[in-house]
Chain A
Amino acid sequence: MQSPSHTYNSAGYFTVSLTVTGPGGSDTMTKTNYIHVTETAAPVAAFSGSPTSGYGPPLTVQFTDQSTGAITNWWWSFGDGFFSGEQNPSHTYMSMGRFTVSLTVTGPGGSDTETKTDFISVHHISDIDQDGDVDQDDAQIILGVAVGLLAHNPDCDLNRDGAVNAMDAIMCLKVVK
């Protein structure tokens, strides 16, 4: 073939020669180490997000791809049933809980996935202990702060009146109800 195309499937230096033949004979030209194929960097998935914890819902998180290697595709799983193919997506969580996030990156050198378990925590303002539930434990913490058994925690001031007292516990317990 006069002008062929060829795919090199391994890394290295390749010597190419061309031989032409005609009525007047033939001739060959050789170029030593003419083609240099470098190893394709395998992708390594990595990411960050901000914020990773906050009151909600809703809670909007900005995710940042920190992967390395040659990458052509990104696939995010946010842990709440939603996905994205963007490189640096923003996602809004619409329910409380802890969410495991994973990013899969794909490139010529293969694919890789990073998974961060319970990476995102969306908690109710009354979920003082941030365990994903608003319950008696949260009210107990508020009352503990109110009487001075526990160190002051501004998160316990649910009504934002500058003091932690039984009113804040009532607000918390109304959520439990």
Chain B
Amino acid sequence: MKLAIGPLCVKAWFGILVLFATTNLTLGCGGGGGGGGAPAGPRAWLETQPASPGTPTQAYLMISDAAGVAGLDFDLRFDPNSLSVSSANKTAVTSNFTMAYNDQPAGSLAVSMARAIGLASGTGSQALLDIKFVVDQAAQHGASIPLTVSLDIYNVTPSRISVQVEDSKITVQ
């Protein structure tokens, strides 16, 4: 059984949330009044910036709620003729993680990171990964370079945390 409630109800319903924590009820406060139930797990997406041909650009792997995250496996696919990866780096949030990345073959980026304890709750969305790209010189102005994202995140158990992953794009300006 799922129960959806509005976005301003957090404080008012906190006590009920605690009360129901030991039951099978799930309370969702996001998404606004659709009545279809709360999405399972946090949302994750790549936050990108438009870039000109031949110039560097940056993208952040964002997550709406990083609480409990102790590791992740990230896979990105894109057109190697339009984009190349310069580097992948940890962010302030993931600075204590152990990380490895592989940007080969061209058109792909695999990143895995882990640590022994889960992240604490943050305020709002947080960046887990900082990726630097270079847009190919031949990329056409106005074009969109699709970024296909695959992401698994884990708690410290370790077991998977359900996450809603969105693909992204880089706009060539």
A residues within 8 Å of B by Cβ?
136, 139-140, 142-144, 146-149, 159, 165-167, 169-174, 176-177
A174 touches B116 (CB 8 A): yes
Contact of A170 among B71, B100, B101, B102 (CB under 8 A): B71
The answer to the question of B113 belonging to the interface, with a C-beta cut-off of 8 Å to chain A, is yes
Chain A proximity of B106: nearest CB distance (Å): 14
The answer to the question of B72 belonging to the interface, with a C-beta cut-off of 8 Å to chain A, is yes
Chain A hits for B100, CB < 8 A: 140, 143-144, 146-147, 149
Chain A hits for B127, CB < 8 A: none
The answer to the question of B117 belonging to the interface, with a C-beta cut-off of 8 Å to chain A, is yes
Contact of B158 among A143, A149, A159, A176 (CB under 8 A): A159
| Nearest neighbor of B70 in chain A, beta-carbon distance | A170
Instruction: Tell me the bound Cα distance from A30 to B154 in angstroms.
Output: 95
B102 touches A139 (CB 8 A): no
* Interface-centre pick from A136, A139, A172, A176 (highest chain B CB count, 10 A): A139
Instruction: Tell me the bound Cα distance from A138 to B142 in angstroms.
Output: 45
B98 touches A147 (CB 8 A): no
The answer to the question of B114 belonging to the interface, with a C-beta cut-off of 8 Å to chain A, is yes
* Interface-centre pick from A140, A146, A149, A170 (highest chain B CB count, 10 A): A170
B112 touches A146 (CB 8 A): yes
Write 12 A-B pairs (CB below 8 A) sorted by A numbering.
A136-B98, A140-B98, A146-B73, A147-B111, A165-B112, A166-B152, A167-B154, A169-B114, A170-B116, A170-B154, A173-B116, A177-B116
Chain A hits for B111, CB < 8 A: 147
Contact of B71 among A136, A140, A167 (CB under 8 A): A167
